[in-house]
Structure 1
Amino acid sequence: MNHLIISSMAIRQDGNGQFCLNDLHRAAGGLPKHRPGQFMRLETTKGLVYEIQCADQRSAFQIINGGPQRGTYVCKELVYAYAMWVSPAFCLKVIRAYDQQQNNAMGLYQQLQALIAEEVSTQVRASFGSRLMLERKRAIPLLRERRERIESELQPELFIH
């Protein structure tokens, strides 16, 4: 999996691809004033959540209580908003980490596309090669017959008188 890494910390994602705000909080330094709950209570955050949910018809965040995956998970836009709220330096780290994640994913995607193209090409060549082998197999008896006929025509006939 292609993880988002910020300040040497892997940021968990849920099954919907949302990022763990608690992990971001730790990556930002873990100050109490930057707790996820503080951010989620801001009027600007609530407004952004409303806009995202109206525009995209999806939940902008989810809170998982209990278990190994517990935490507040947010969409990419809220990750950026949280990073901007924390500090310009942290925001830059988040932007660059996300860009790196996307570049890595694009590189893997391009490698996959190249492998698929190579596989298809190999299948086409194998199919073409099989067809050529079958044509050759069918042509060999005809070629032998023609060769034998030409050889016999080239042989001088001996007439005994």
Structure 2
Amino acid sequence: MSNLSILNTSIRQTENLYSLNDLHIASGAENKHRPALFIRLDTTQELVAEIQKEAPNKPILVRKNGIGTYACEELVLAYATWISPKFHLIVLRAFLAMHRNEPKQLALPEPPKMYQRDLTEKEMQDFCWAWYGLRNYIELTDKLANLLGAFGGDYARAIRQMNERYRNIPQELLPTLQRITAEFNQDITHGNGWNRIIYNVRHPNAIIRSGGLVHLF
């Protein structure tokens, strides 16, 4: 029987089943990730039923007094997915390595590379203006797609495709813009364009009234 180790935690095995309690410890042992909670899920019970249909005689899930819950590989991977995508990836790679007879300790993924760049205030403002323009573009294409959708045709489809392609980018960029402009002063009482932009970067869902106009972004 090959040994399985996850993040320096040895995973106990019995009859081709793996200890969910050991997996729980390896993941950080948070109370919300207890194996008992996972077992009670309807999706878990449905998965057990599907495995039983394909392999009626296969051990799937065993609860042993005093030593915890043991589950087959499919359930172990489902449990890891339920905990987090990152932990699922670690467990999946550990199983792949074990099946290749290459047991090794898999560490957490490397942190993202960091790059230091000097940006002028004007350059950071330009990024914010571009973000603001993209938000308005997405709102406009969304309205156009709804208006033209009833008529169909290539224009309506093209507008909808562009809207769907770019609609998540402003939300993805927002944390970066908020970080690089954290030291900027903000005063929307002056009513100029830049002050409205920086306010929207920090309060993306705010409604700003200036000069009798209502700015939704």
Partner Cα distance (1:26, 1:63) in 2:
17
Query: What letter is aligned with 2:52?
Result: Q
Partner Cα distance (1:105, 1:94) in 2:
14
SS in 2 for 1:104: coil
Cα RMSD (Å) of the superposition? 1.5
Compute the displacement of 1:44 (Å). Answer: 0.1
Partner Cα distance (1:105, 1:88) in 2:
23
Counterpart residue number, 2:72: 75
Counterpart residue number, 1:64: 64
Note if contact 1:2-1:105 (Cα within 8 Å) is conserved in structure 2. Answer: no
**Which has the higher Rg, Structure 1 or Structure 2?**
1
**TM-score in terms of structure 2 length:** 0.45
Percent identity between the two aligned chains: 47
Higher helix content, 1 or 2: 1
Partner Cα distance (1:17, 1:79) in 2:
11
Note if contact 1:21-1:71 (Cα within 8 Å) is conserved in structure 2. Answer: yes
Counterpart residue number, 1:19: 18
Partner Cα distance (2:68, 2:11) in 1:
11
Partner Cα distance (1:76, 1:59) in 2:
10
SS in 1 for 2:63: strand
* Residues paired across the two proteins, number: 102
Q: Deviating runs (4+, > 6 A) in structure 1?
A: none
Q: Which of these residues, 69, 82, 88, is aligned with residue 85 of structure 2? A: 88
Deviations 1:42-64 (A, max 9, x none): 00000001111121113310000
Partner Cα distance (2:26, 2:102) in 1:
22
Partner Cα distance (1:8, 1:104) in 2:
18
Note if contact 1:20-1:72 (Cα within 8 Å) is conserved in structure 2. Answer: yes
Partner Cα distance (1:98, 1:22) in 2:
17
Query: What letter is aligned with 2:33?
Result: H
Q: Which has the higher contact order (CA 8 A, sep 6+)?
A: 1
SS in 2 for 1:100: helix
Counterpart mapping for 1:1-161 below 5 A: 1-14=1-14, 16-57=15-56, 58-66=58-66, 70-104=67-101
Which segments of 5 or more consecutive residues in structure 1 lack a partner in the other structure?
107-161
Note if contact 2:17-2:59 (Cα within 8 Å) is conserved in structure 1. Answer: no
Partner Cα distance (1:81, 1:63) in 2:
17
Compute the displacement of 1:105 (Å). Answer: 6.5
Deviations 1:106-152 (A, max 9, x none): 9xxxxxxxxxxxxxxxxxxxxxxxxxxxxxxxxxxxxxxxxxxxxxx
